[in-house]
Amino acid sequence: MALQTKITRNSGFRLFLQSVIGRAYPRIIGTQRDLAWLFFDIFLPFISMVAYVFIYRALKAPEEYIGFVVLGSAMTAYWLNILWAMSSQLYWEKETGNLALYVISPASMMAILFGMASGGLFATTVRALFILIIGNWLFQVSYTITSFWALFLVFILTMVALYGLGMMLSSLFLLFNREAWHTANLLQAPVMLFSGFYFPVKVFNFWIAAAASLIPLTLGMDAIRQLVFPSGALLGFLTVKVELIVLAVLSVVFLAGAYFTLRWMEKLAIRYGRITDRLG
């Protein structure tokens, strides 16, 4: 008697969820299958952190600044993930021929982006935690957490806004060809400068800091510094409450932006055939 396998085809929300899980799967499971990332994604970024710590040590900076570097280095993992594994991702998918397959599949492209974001967020959080734990242990950073709930809320809103930005950029990067790599490369150092990865963003004048706040990590890190370091409140750009409100607004704006830019890119793709072109 022949075995019959019943194939169920999901649709609607179930298909959306299935697509999210399907796209997140390789990012989460992949980290367990190839442990080389322990060296490349933790040990090597850790070296950059050590360099900045020793610069502060050479300048005889207060010990709290060492904590700023450790925190900033952990958050760097998220920014690099946004640039190289979110913004550039659809461009890579186009280059390797996967993008056209995504588009012709019944899965929603928004679900694909959510899957990329949630998988990336999970894997990057593991990396960031490793960097944070090793940095804290090696440089004996001490924290004084004033409110766990506020800290949790700041982190969640920062991540939602940041990955919303990443989803939006991934559509916009489809406009690029070889410029994609250079654009991601270009966005690395200036954002690390103006978002205050290694020092309080308050050192810039108000308008520069306000402009830098469009990158959610700027306000996110500023609020975290205020909530975990004793002198953080003195060095804060805005109050934590205001920063939470701005982060919530950015979350909505970037997620909506991701939806509309994706639709716009799909229209361009249909009209000009840009999904399948591979100009090198």
Partner 1 sequence: MRASAWLGWKIESNWTDPLIFAIYSIIRPISTAAILIVMYLVIRGGEFSKPDFVNMYVGNAFFILVGAAIQGVSFGILDDREHYRTLKYIYIAPIRVPVYLIGRSLGSILVAVFSVLITLVFGALFLKMPIVFSEINWGLLTTASFLGLLAMISLGIVLGSWTLIIKNNAWSLGESLGAGLLIFSGAVFPLNVLPMPLQWIGNALPISYWLALIRRALVPEIGRTYPMYTDYSDARLILILLGFTLIYALIAVLVFKRFDFIARERGNIDMVSNY
Positions touching partner 1 (CB under 8 A) are 34, 36-37, 39-41, 44-45, 47-48, 50-52, 54-61, 65, 95-96, 177-179, 182, 185-186, 188-190, 192-193, 197-200, 203, 280
State the DSSP string of 19-36: HHHHHHHHHHHHHHH-TT
In whole angstroms, what separates CA 50 from the centre of its chain?
22
In whole angstroms, what separates CA 184 from the centre of its chain?
13
Nearest partner of 94 among 263, 271, 273, 259, judged by Cα: 273
Give the integer Cα–Cα distance in Å for 80 and 86: 9
- Residue 191 Cβ, how far from partner 1 at the closest point, in Å? 9
Nearer to partner 1, 80 or 248 (CB): 80
Give the integer Cα–Cα distance in Å for 114 and 110: 6
Phi first, then psi: give them for residue 135, nearest 5 degrees.
Answer: -60, -45
Nearer to partner 1, 1 or 58 (CB): 58
Nearer to partner 1, 179 or 277 (CB): 179
Nearer to partner 1, 7 or 36 (CB): 36
- Residue 51 Cβ, how far from partner 1 at the closest point, in Å? 5
- Residue 63 Cβ, how far from partner 1 at the closest point, in Å? 12
First to last CA, the chain: 53
- Residue 239 Cβ, how far from partner 1 at the closest point, in Å? 21
- Residue 178 Cβ, how far from partner 1 at the closest point, in Å? 4
Give the integer Cα–Cα distance in Å for 204 and 237: 9
Nearer to partner 1, 127 or 247 (CB): 127
Nearer to partner 1, 83 or 151 (CB): 83
Nearer to partner 1, 27 or 258 (CB): 27
- Residue 254 Cβ, how far from partner 1 at the closest point, in Å? 23
- Residue 46 Cβ, how far from partner 1 at the closest point, in Å? 9
DSSP 67: H
Give the integer Cα–Cα distance in Å for 224 and 244: 11
> Which ranges in the chain belong to alpha helices (H)?
12-33, 37, 44-58, 63-81, 89-96, 98-104, 109-139, 148-172, 179-194, 206-212, 216-228, 232-235, 240-272
